[in-house]
Amino acid sequence: MKAVVAGAAGGIGQPLSLLLKACPLVDKLALYDVVNTPGVATDLSHISSIAQIEGFLPADDGLKKALTGADIVVIPAGIPRKPGMTRDDLFKINAGIVKGLIESCAENCPDAFILVISNPVNSTVPIAAEVLKKAGKFNPKKLFGVTTLDVVRAETFVQSLTGEKDPSKTVIPVIGGHSGETIVPLFSQAKPAVKIPQDKLDALTNRVQFGGDEVVKAKDGAGSATLSMAYAGYRFAEKVMKAAKGETGIVEPTFVYLPGVEGGDAIAKETGCDFFSVPIELGKDGAQKAINVLGDANEYEKKLLQACYEGLKGNISKGIEFVQNPP
């Protein structure tokens, strides 16, 4: 298993690379960034784990060398938010960064699983899909927007109401997109079931939807979530790798192109959104099956979903437009 981190010298990239270096499933790890990868790779290379590690910069075809032979590419490249910014404010810079990296994936590792972390995820994943389509290399089962941090936050924030010692033991589907109102936690479907008093539900839902702002505010100009994101990105990457190696029964919400995944067409029709995060059963070839949890949403959650669809449609079109009619 060769893993690549693109954006490896950044706030997310470094701890994510550390976790991948320590992961026994990874045989080779390539770190790519426009700066500082030789230092990060040399530092991590002293860790006595299996993965052989190498760092690459743009010079001397570094991106091509990093991506060649990749089985999984995780992309946290791009600028993060500062207080007062929305994720959509990042589009101007990050859209081009993601487009360039995906063009190179299409050329150098068209069969790799591609996990996009760079914001705005609601638009960068449609950008990635369009770039891959243009190159004739789009496999919807292998392109994922990473929304695991929203799931991790839902698990964590509900703990005060469950009393569960290990918050990760409560499974909560968080669906939709990855920004504000497009993030929809379905607490009514928590397993084991959680009873949330009505007067606490609004605050809890809001905290999951705007958890990113909490970190941006606390970091006060020094960026957004990095360590919790590295944990979440690693958790998702590990599940993709385990499924690729044949482990079955792995399900995790992730933002995918629904019409390309079994069971996804009906969800795309119901939501009006081709790109959407739902629990996805992972298999050897990636997204094996989309699980439709919409029908089980309660009235409160259905209202949240209506707001989600509205916001998400515009974000998706913006990403597609960026590739089809470049500015």
Q: How far is the CB of 48 from ligand LMR (least distance, A)?
A: 32
Query: Which residues define the annotated binding site for NAD(+)?
Result: 7-13, 33, 94, 117-119, 229
Among ligand LMR, ligand NAD, none, what does residue 311 contact (CB within 5–8 Å per kind)?
Answer: none
Write out the two tokens for 194: 């959680």
The 193-212 site mask, x for binding ligand LMR (CB under 6 A), equals -------------------x
253 is in the binding site of which of ligand NAD, ligand LMR, none (Cβ under 5 to 8 A by kind)? none
Residue number with CB closer to ligand LMR (2 or 87): 87
- Number of neighbours of residue 35 by Cβ within 10 angstroms: 11
Q: Give which of 240, 260, 237 is closest to 140, Cα–Cα.
A: 260
Q: Please tell me the distance from the alpha carbon of residue 112 to that of residue 318, in angstroms, as a whole number.
A: 25
Q: What does DSSP assign to residue 182?
A: G
218 Cβ partners below 8 Å, 6+ apart? none
**Side chain identity at 178, as an amino acid letter?**
H
Nearest to 140 by CA among 238, 268, 325, 321: 268
Residues making up the binding site for substrate: 81, 87, 119, 153
3-state secondary structure of 101: helix
Give the one residue of 216, 243, 267, 278 binding ligand LMR; rule: CB under 6 A.
Answer: 216
Minimum CB distance to ligand LMR smaller for 212 or for 311: 212
Pick from 6, 72, 225, 268: which binds ligand LMR (CB under 6 A)? 225
Scanning residues 105 to 124, which ones bind ligand LMR (CB under 6 A)? 119
> Which conformational region is residue 34 in: left (phi greater than 0), alpha (psi within -120 to 50 degrees), or beta?
alpha
Shortest approach of ligand NAD to residue 153 CB, angstroms?
10
Cα–Cα distance measured from residue 126 to residue 110, given in angstroms and rounded to the nearest whole number: 17
Does residue 30 sit in helix, strand or coil?
A: strand
Q: Which does 7 bind (CB under 5 to 8 A by kind): ligand LMR, ligand NAD, none?
A: ligand NAD
Within 10 Å of residue 263's Cβ, how many Cβ atoms? 16
Which residue of the chain is nearest ligand LMR when measured via CB? Answer: 212
Q: Which of 155, 181, 184 is nearest to 278 (CA)?
A: 184
Cβ neighbourhood burial of 202 (10 Å; 0-12, 13-18, 19+): exposed
Which C-beta is closer to ligand NAD: that of 5 or that of 194?
A: 5
Q: To the nearest whole angstrom, how small is the minimum distance from the Cβ of residue 119 to ligand LMR?
A: 5
Min dist. Cβ of residue 163 to ligand NAD (A): 27
In the complex, minimum distance from the CB of residue 228 to ligand LMR, in angstroms, rounded to a whole number:
7
Contact residues for ligand NAD, defined by CB under 6 A: 6-7, 9-13, 32-35, 76-81, 90, 94, 97, 100-101, 117-119, 121, 146, 149, 178, 223-226, 229
Interface with ligand LMR (CB under 6 A): 81, 87, 119, 149, 212, 215-216, 224-225
